[in-house]
Structure 1
Amino acid sequence: MGILRVGLFVIFGLLFSFQVGAQQQNDKEREKAQKEALQLMQEAEEAMGDNNFPEAEAAYRKAIAKDPESSAARYNMGNMYYTRENSPQAAQRFKQAAEVADTKEAKHQANHNLGNAYMKQKKYQEAVDAYKDALRNNPTDDETRYNLALAKKMLEEQQQDENQDGGDNENQDQENKDQENQDQNQDQENKENQDQQDQSGEGDNEGDQDQQEKDQEEKEGDQDEKEQPDGQGDQEEKEKQPQQGQPQPTQGQLSPEQIQSLLEAMNNEERKVQDKINAEKQKGAKVKSEKDW
C-alpha cells in the first residue's frame, strides 16, 4: 500500500507540472499577442493622425484579430467610427467592447459611448438602456446621468409624436372611409335618379308616340275631307246613317198577304208609267229650231 501511495503522488506531480507548463506557454503567447495588438493600435492612431482612415481601420482590425479579448481595440475603433459620423458601426464596436471588458471602468466607458452612438441614430430607447448600464458600473458619473435624462426626454417626445401621428392617421383613414361611403351613396342615388328619369322618359316617349299617331290620323282625315267635293262627304255620311222618321224594313216581319198587296201596287204603278210614256210618243216630240241668218 505504501508503494502505491508513492506512485500516485508521483503521477499527480507530473500532471501538475504539465498543466503549469501549458498555462505558462499560453500566457506567453497571449502576452505576445497583446504586445502585437498594442503595436497595431499605435499604428492605427498614427494613421488617424495623418487622416488616413483606410489604413487606421485596417490596423484596428488586425489588432482585434491578434487579441480577440481586447476591449481597448474595439473601443478605440468605435471612437474612430463615431468621429467619422458612422454611428451604426460605432455602436457595434462599443457594444463588443462592453461585452469583453474585464473591468467596471471599461464597461462604463463603452456603454456611455454606446448611448451616445444610439442618440445620434435617434434610437432613444436603446440609448436609455446603454446609459443605465454605464451607471451600473459607475453611478457617480454626472455626465452619464445627464445624458440619461436627456435620452428619456427625447424618448417621451418621440412616443408622443408617434401617438399623435397614429391618431392623425386613424382620423385621416376614417375621413377617407367616410368620404368613400359618401361617394358610393351619391353614386347610388345618381343611378336611381337616372333610372327613374329613363323610365319616365320611356313613358313620355310612348305617350308622345301615341299622340303623334293620333294627330297624324286626324290630319289624314282632314286631308280626305278636303279632297272630296263640297257636300259629297255630307251626302255619303247621310247615306251611311238611317233617315230619321222612316222605319227600316226588317226581314221576316211582313205576312204573305202584305207582300202580295205590295206587288200588285207596284204593278199598277208600272202600268201607269208605261201608259204615260206611250201617250207622249203619239203626240210627237217637240223640236227646237234656230234661225240661220
Structure 2
Amino acid sequence: MKQLIIVVLLVLQASFLFAQQEKRDIRKGNQLYQAKNYKEAEDNYRKALAKSNNKTVEGNFNLGDALYKQKKFEDAQQQFTKIAATSKDKQVLANAYHNIGNSLLENKKLEESIAAYKKSLLNNPDDEQTRYNLSYAQKMLKKQQDDKKNQNKNDKNKDKDQNKDKNKDDKNKDKDNKDKDKKDQDKKDQDKKDKDNKDKNKPDNKDPQDQQQQQPQPNNVSKDDAERMLEALKNDEKATQDKLKNKKLKGARANISKDW
C-alpha cells in the first residue's frame, strides 16, 4: 500500500508539474500576445498544448487567436472548428463558432460565415457582437450579389452594344462595297463608252495611197489651158467630121481597077 501511495503521489506531482509548466507557457504566450508578438505567442501556446495533449480549452482558443492575428485565417478556422467539434459547453461552442465566422468572413466566404454566426447565436442568442457580425456579413453578401447582377447586366448590355456596332459596321461595310462596285461598274461603262467613241472617230486602217486614189484630185488646170483644150477638142472633132465626109465622097466614085 505504501508503494502504491508513493506511485500515486509521484504521478500527481508530475501532473501538477506539467500543469504548472503548461500554465507558465500559456501565461508567457498571453504576454507575447499582448505585446503583439503573435508568432512567439503561438509557439508558447503550442508548447502548453503539447504538455496537456491538446486538451486545454484556454490554450486551444489562444492558439486560434494567435493564428488569426497573423492573418492565417484558414489555420485559425481549422483550430476553432476542432474546438467546436470536441466541446459540449454552449458558451465554448458560441465563442468557437463566432471565431469561425470571423475567419471565414476575412476569407470572403460570406455564405459560410453567415452559417457560422447563426450557429453561434443558437448557443448564445444574447451575443450582440455576433449578431452585429451576422448583419454585416449579410449586407456584404447582398452587395456582392447586387454587384454580380449589375455586372451581368452590364456584360449583356455590352455584348448587345457590341453586336449592334458589329451589325452597323457590317451594314456600312456592305454599303461601302456596293458603292465601290457601283463606282467600278460606272468606270467600266465610261471606259467602254470612251473606247467606242474613240474607235468611231479613228480613221480606217487603209493604205494612204488607196485613200489618196479614192479622194478626188484637185483641179489645177488654168482657164486659158481649159479654153485651148476645148478648142483642140473642137478642131479634132471637125477634122474627124471632114474625114468622114471625104470618105463618103470617095465612096461615091467609080471603082478603079488595080494596076497589076
1:122–1:195: structure 2 CA closer, same or farther, 3 Å change rule? same
Q: Does 1:155 align with 2:146?
A: no
1:40–1:164: structure 2 CA closer, same or farther, 3 Å change rule? same
TM-superposition CA deviations, 1:73-103 (whole Å, max 9, x none) = 3421221233344444433433333223342
Pick from 177, 192, 215 the counterpart of residue 233 of structure 1.
215
Is the Cα contact below 8 Å between 1:70 and 1:100 reproduced in 2? Answer: no
Task: Provide the rounded CA distance (Å) in 2 between the counterparts of 1:148 and 1:179.
Answer: 46
1:32–1:164: structure 2 CA closer, same or farther, 3 Å change rule? farther
Which runs of 5 or more residues in structure 2 are unaligned? 1-7, 219-236, 245-260
Task: Provide the rounded CA distance (Å) in 2 between the counterparts of 1:65 and 1:191.
Answer: 83
Is the Cα contact below 8 Å between 2:38 and 2:69 reproduced in 1? Answer: no
RMSD value, Cα: 3.9
Cross-structure match for 1:188: 174
| TM-score normalised by L of structure 1 | 0.57
Pick from 139, 145, 155 the counterpart of residue 169 of structure 1.
155
Cross-structure match for 2:109: 123
1:52–1:78: structure 2 CA closer, same or farther, 3 Å change rule? same
Which residue type is aligned with residue 115 of structure 1?
G
1:51–1:141: structure 2 CA closer, same or farther, 3 Å change rule? closer
Task: Provide the rounded CA distance (Å) in 1 between the counterparts of 2:16 and 2:191.
Answer: 108
| TM-score normalised by L of structure 2 | 0.63
Is the Cα contact below 8 Å between 1:105 and 1:138 reproduced in 2? Answer: yes
How do residues 5-154 of structure 1 correspond to structure 2 at under 5 angstroms?
35=19, 38-64=23-49, 67-154=53-140
Task: Provide the rounded CA distance (Å) in 2 between the counterparts of 1:163 and 1:63.
Answer: 50
Task: Provide the rounded CA distance (Å) in 2 between the counterparts of 1:32 and 1:206.
Answer: 117
Task: Provide the rounded CA distance (Å) in 1 between the counterparts of 2:106 and 2:114.
Answer: 13
Task: Provide the rounded CA distance (Å) in 2 between the counterparts of 1:234 and 1:155.
Answer: 110
Cross-structure match for 1:201: 187
Q: Does 1:210 align with 2:196?
A: yes
Where 1:140 maps in the other structure, the secondary structure is coil
Stretches of 4+ moved more than 6 A in 1? 31-34
Task: Provide the rounded CA distance (Å) in 2 between the counterparts of 1:64 and 1:214.
Answer: 115
Where 1:217 maps in the other structure, the secondary structure is coil
Which runs of 5 or more residues in structure 1 are unaligned? 1-23, 237-268, 277-293
Among the aligned pairs, what percent are the same residue? 29
Where 2:125 maps in the other structure, the secondary structure is coil
Shift of 1:203: 2.1
Task: Provide the rounded CA distance (Å) in 2 between the counterparts of 1:32 and 1:188.
Answer: 93
